[in-house]
Homo-oligomer: A and B are copies of this chain.
Amino acid sequence: MTTQAFTGVLSPVLTPFDNDLRPNGRKLAQFCKSLLAEGCTALAPFGTNSEANSMSVEERMELLDQIVAAGVDPRKLMPGTGACALSDAVKATKHAVAKGCGGVLVLPPFYYKGMSDDGFYRFFSETIQRVGDARLKLYLYHIPPQTVQGISHDLIERLIKAYPTTVVGIKDSSGDWKNTEAMLKRFPGFGIFAGSEDFLLANMRAGGVGCITATGNVNAGMIRKLYDTWQQPDADQKQAHISVVRKTIQRHPMIPSMKSLRAAWSGDAAWLNVLPPFLPLAMEQGKALAADVAKLGCKGPEMVPAE
């Protein structure tokens, strides 16, 4: 295993859509810069909370072009490049590596259920070999709440053995701390991210490298503060508090909820747009939520920490 390509607090970047539901690359690039200023150490565009799988692979690649062209450092980007189709995963991954991205986050193929570890191994191995680029740093994306079938520890071991300088980490979005803990014990040095800030402190204490979390989109500053100071005596209180903020945001389905906050904070109603099968919230709902999280100290862009 190698030096960590990524550590800290990453956010799966929300994707802004225009009213005709087309992704807006200019706004996305601006938003990436805001998130880095608000506290994210790096970014994971085209994740679950980016509605990535509701966009075509071409749309995602075009957006990545726009983000990088706008001046976002590609070494700070870990775009999601997974897909059900091997050809799509290879195309998107090749493109990300060519753009200089520091890594990629790759879902297992998620249409067919009941697949074997051998079948999943074949998918990841073919992807890596077809990309065929030593610069590739691949993070596995374990998220059984959406894909149903996750990535087993035996499969991880096999992939690390076969591709030790390529398969360098994992995002654990199982919501099951026992799973993260078992991986931390079995794979020391592997770049293990908690999939939610709820487990950030536990993950840091057990040897993890940070978290890749949805709410980085709206509460990066507070989460980053915990990451930076996790060894201080008040870390447990900080952890408890950011978990309360998260719970408040989860009053609505996560993606429309966070977008409604961004809409309320910016006054830009286009932030409410979500792709089907999601449904948008109303600006009023965003304002009500903004008022509630403000009471918890989560006030949006103005909370950028002074340098």
Is residue A295 contacting chain B, with contact meaning CB distance below 8 A? no
Is residue A110 contacting chain B, with contact meaning CB distance below 8 A? yes
B-contacting 9-mer, from A33-41, A49-57, A185-193, A235-243: A49-57
> Inside 8 A of A119's CB, which chain B residues have their CB?
276-279
Q: Is the CB of B123 within 8 A of A276?
A: yes
Is residue A69 contacting chain B, with contact meaning CB distance below 8 A? no
Q: Is the CB of B277 within 8 A of A53?
A: no
Render A245-287 as a binary contact track against B, CB cut-off 8 A, 1 for contact.
Answer: 0000000000000000000000000000001111100000000
Known contacts: A86-B21, A87-B59. The answer to whether A111 contacts B276 by CB under 8 A is no
Q: Is the CB of A109 within 8 A of B54?
A: yes
Is residue A163 contacting chain B, with contact meaning CB distance below 8 A? no
How many chain-A residues does the 8 Å CB contact rule pick out?
Answer: 38
Q: For chain A residues 142-184, which have a beta carbon within 8 Å of chain B?
A: 145-148
Is residue A98 contacting chain B, with contact meaning CB distance below 8 A? no
Is residue A74 contacting chain B, with contact meaning CB distance below 8 A? no
Q: Is the CB of B86 within 8 A of A126?
A: no
Q: Name A116's contact: one of B87, B147, B279 (CB within 8 Å).
A: B279
Is residue A26 contacting chain B, with contact meaning CB distance below 8 A? no
Render A106-136 as a binary contact track against B, CB cut-off 8 A, 1 for contact.
Answer: 0011111101101110110010000000000
Is residue A292 contacting chain B, with contact meaning CB distance below 8 A? no
Is residue A84 contacting chain B, with contact meaning CB distance below 8 A? yes
CA distance A246 to B126 in the complex (A): 32
Is residue A88 contacting chain B, with contact meaning CB distance below 8 A? yes
Q: For chain A residues 48-97, which have a beta carbon within 8 Å of chain B?
A: 48, 53-57, 59, 83-88, 91
Name 24 A/B residue pairs within 8 A (Cβ), A-sorted. Answer: A21-B126, A48-B111, A48-B112, A53-B84, A53-B85, A54-B85, A54-B86, A54-B109, A54-B111, A54-B112, A55-B85, A56-B57, A56-B83, A56-B85, A86-B275, A108-B277, A112-B146, A112-B278, A116-B277, A116-B279, A119-B276, A122-B277, A123-B276, A123-B277
A residues with a Cβ closer than 8 A to B are 21, 48, 53-57, 59, 83-88, 91, 108-113, 115-116, 118-120, 122-123, 126, 145-148, 275-279
Besides the known contacts A54-B85, A118-B279, 18 further A-B residue pairs in the complex with CB atoms under 8 A apart: A53-B85, A53-B109, A54-B86, A55-B87, A59-B85, A59-B87, A85-B275, A108-B277, A109-B277, A112-B146, A112-B277, A113-B148, A115-B277, A115-B278, A116-B277, A116-B279, A119-B276, A122-B279
